[in-house]
Amino acid sequence: MILSLAPMEGLTGYMFRNVHAECFGPLDRYYTPFLAPPHVGSGFGKKAFKEIDPKNNQGLNVVPQLLTRNADEFVWAAQVLAELGYTEVNLNLGCPSGTVVAKGRGSGFLRNPGELEAFLQDVCERSPIAVSVKTRLGLVEDREYRQILDLYCRLPLAELIVHPRVQKDRYQGTPRQEAYGETLRRAPFAVAYNGDVFSVDEYNALCAAYPQTRHVMLGRGLLANPALARMVRGGAPATAAELKRFHDKLFSAYLDEMGGNAVFRMKEWWFYAKFAFADPLAVHRAVRKVRCVDEYEHAVAGVFSGEAFASVPVFRA
């Protein structure tokens, strides 16, 4: 089974990947949060380059993800990535953000299946490395997926990662696993599942319902429970000491990288990590108002010394 870490803008960048792998063991694969491809002829911007710089991803199996509807820029980016040693590039067809969708990118690209098929045909032909896709089912209704899946099945994709919600759902409601099952039945290429796998039980239920499953991508579940992948593989839950060590290394990496803004980056992480404690609301209250490093360190010391640890952390929306 391939277990991968979901691309999550602001959360699962290269610092998170490295610290998580060091503390809990590497996952089989990591996807970068979406990157804008550079203009043809130029290089990735400074921030984006850090995500893909081989120096920042040593020993990790990383697939860069692009957010674009411009085929020339996609192919150019794929060439740059190939030169850096990458063997696969992923296209984001899932981002539900209003501004992204309005520009016809992310899940907004699903509105134009004809244009999307021409784009994918073109980039699959011209990209020097394998092209995979992370998709939603459509924008408004699940039935849009019939036409979208038909077009994917005509293409030489390396893999299709299915997050079976529509754009309108954002991250609410229950993922429609049947659409993933239908993809498994029909697709002539590898298929992966993503969405609401927050516990070992949910992982086992997915694999029982769809025994051909070969790749599960973990997102919020792993942020709330950093030992989730290890537990899926039969290992132990995280101890309080492990979580503290993970936190300290992550905060220190962000501090080195961005100074005081590390506090805001960590607060995003706490939105998920609070579920590692028996009273997530108390943890939320302790960290929500902090603004500077001193306040942050004080609040977090209080959480680790005063809050009981959940026996098994589970993310709940």
Binding site for FMN: which residues?
A: 65, 134, 163, 219-220
159-162/130-135 β-pairing: parallel
3-state secondary structure of 158: coil
95 classed as catalytic: yes
Q: Which of 57, 107, 132, 194 binds ligand FMN (CB under 6 A)?
A: 194
3-state secondary structure of 310: coil
What would the x/- binding string for ligand FMN be over residues 270 to 299, using CB under 6 A?
A: ------------------------------
- Judged by CB under 6 A, which stretch of 80-88, 138-146, 217-225, 235-243 contacts ligand FMN? 217-225
Q: Is the dihedral of CA 168, 187, 134, 155 positive or negative?
A: negative
Q: Indicate whether 230 belongs to the interface with ligand FMN (CB under 6 A).
A: no
Residue 125 vs 201, nearer CB to ligand FMN: 201
Q: Which of 91, 197, 224, 262 binds ligand FMN (CB under 6 A)?
A: 197
Q: Which of 134, 230, 247, 265 binds ligand FMN (CB under 6 A)?
A: 134
Beta bridge partners of 4: 29, 217
What would the x/- binding string for ligand FMN be over residues 4 to 33, using CB under 6 A?
A: --xxxxxx---------------------x
**How far is 191 from 66, CA to CA, in rounded Å?**
19
Residue type, 51: E
Instruction: List the strands of the sheet with 65-66, edge to edge.
Output: 62-63, 29-31, 2-5, 215-218, 190-194, 159-162, 130-135, 88-93, 65-66
Q: Which residues bind ligand FMN (CB under 6 A)?
A: 6-11, 33-34, 65, 92, 94-95, 134, 163, 171, 194-197, 218-221
- Residues that are catalytic: 95
